[in-house]
Amino acid sequence: MVNETAVEKTNMFDDRCKTKKLRFIVCAFITPLVFISSGIILIILRTLIYNGLKSEVLSVTPGSKSYEIFKKTPFDIYLDIYFFNWTNPEEFSNPLVKPKFEEIGPFRFLEVMEKTNITFHDNSTVSYNRTRRWYFDKEFSPYDLHTPITSINPVAASGGYAMRHESIWTKKLFSIGIRSILGRMDMTQSVANVFFDGYEDPLINLGKSLPFVKQKVPPMDKFGWFYKRNGSNEWDGRYNMGTGSQTKFGQLYKYNNMEHSPFFKDRCGDIRGSAGEFFPAGLGKQPLELFNPEMCRTIVFDYVEEERKKMINGYKFTLGDHFFDNGTIYPENVCYCSGDCVPYGVMNISLCRYGSPGFVSLPHFYKADPYFINLVDGMKPSKKHDFYMIIEPTTGLPLEVSARLQINLLVKNVPGIGLLEDRNDVFFPIFWFEQVVEVPTKYSFGLLFLLWLKEICILTGLLMICSGIIIMSIAVYRICTTPLWTRPEEIYNKELVPLNQEKR
């Protein structure tokens, strides 16, 4: 009976030995080999993994990571507007007195932008409209929307500009109409009316009633710089952009179903560059192009320097010679003049704005020829008025965009129109806007992970290989130094050895 018990215990011990042996084999060879092989595979396939994740991030297809960001901006964007209040309009008739301006602002608006009418095409492009809504931020803005602003009458200035090439009798009739209705060239309206709500101007109805003017009058019943734009999905036009699969991600191919703008000739009218939110990957330090529907043209940014933003290295681009030059530095830019070339720093967008004398510059005529600042009083240009973008060059994703532009109206000397003759041409500053957007922290961490993905794969792979080697070394050492397969002596002493004869 005793011997049978001993045999059973011996068999149980042998089974345990087999289990331990199997475990040690797994620990000593199989598990380490899995670690080592996985590490090697991870290092070998690091480029494939990186390209796969990069293509997923840098593409716009239904269900892709970028689609929801593309469809609706996932973070808050604010638009700050600064108006120039004209403080001496009563001196307008005196050509020896400069117009004086006082900056009022900011008026802050929360901007919500959403893509609508999204259509994906077989040629790896996507077409869409943009719907933008603005909500006034009372807490941040030091003024309310009822604040009165005095400025040049934009309808009168535009009408006079449109009449500059007409016959003397046509000008006289227009001059009589302006003087009898307005009597002066300034107007005062609330910020709400000037910007979004619009206001009725009797010159609009007058222009529509005159056969020699009505074809030049914009199709509107009120005037406002952003009148009927809040919530409109048609005002910004229709874009056709590359999705990134077989086309350049973010590249604009068509705007309003056109490849060439009708407002500029030759290369100046080519629709090219980024659509706005994304830029093609693999940027160099060559000029960066961005299509702007407000100007009906592509604006060009010059490379300035490398700049680090939230631990990510980026390329900084700013508006410079390629944008502001009107043909002196770059002869090919002369087609941007639209017939009226002006000194450096101000761009003519009159054809894009129904023929009104609209000109764009940086705020306070920053970087512009001193000619413009000398025409008025109250301008204080500084570096804070610059327009720049910081782009991560590998992916083409923006790290920071500081957009600032100023809208100006040319009040031109027009002989034959009483209120506009016998004076110098003056570029009246109307307002400027600022929109600063930085990549949120959670997106910057994701971008940082993507940029370091290859190095992360290498580091992780090496750790796995080292871990496998260490595990294998420890297991082999244990096997060589531990008598795992020797039965304990107590089994023999207590159960297999015959009983003492004296106890029989």
Check residue 385 and give its pLDDT: 96
Q: Strand 238-242 relative to strand 358-361: parallel, antiparallel, unpaired?
A: unpaired
Q: Are 210 and 203 in contact (CB under 8 A)?
A: no
CA quadruple 378, 384, 386, 387: dihedral sign: negative
Query: Which residues, including other chains, have CB under 8 Å from residue 402's CB and lie 6 or more apart?
Result: 386, 387, 388, 389, 434, 435, 436
Own/partner pairs, 180-185, CB within 8 angstroms, 24+ separation: 181/206, 182/153, 182/156, 182/419, 184/89, 184/92, 184/419, 185/89, 185/92, 185/152, 185/153, 185/156, 185/157, 185/411, 185/419, 185/420
Check residue 15 and give its pLDDT: 57
Check residue 422 and give its pLDDT: 79
Check residue 504 and give its pLDDT: 44
Tokens 């960001």 label which residue? 69
Within 13 Å, how many C-alpha atoms sit on residue 1's CB side?
0
Average pLDDT of adjacent 10-residue blocks, the chain of 504 residues: 53 57 64 83 88 82 81 89 95 89 95 92 92 93 94 87 80 79 86 91 70 58 87 90 84 91 86 85 88 89 92 92 86 81 88 82 95 95 95 90 95 83 88 92 85 89 88 75 54 49 48
Check residue 28 and give its pLDDT: 63
Backbone angles phi, psi at 186, to 5 degrees: -100, 160
Check residue 492 and give its pLDDT: 46
Residue 26 is classified by DSSP as I
Angle at 315 between CA 311 and CA 319, to 5 degrees: 135
Q: What is the 3-state secondary structure (H, E, C) of 405-429?
A: EEEEEEECCCCCCHHHCCCCCEEEE
Residue 258 tokens read as 């056109």
Residue 265 tokens read as 């000739």
User: Angle of helix 168-181 relative to helix 202-209, nearest 10 degrees?
Assistant: 150
Q: Please tell me the distance from the alpha carbon of residue 497 to that of residue 230, in angstroms, as a whole number.
A: 100
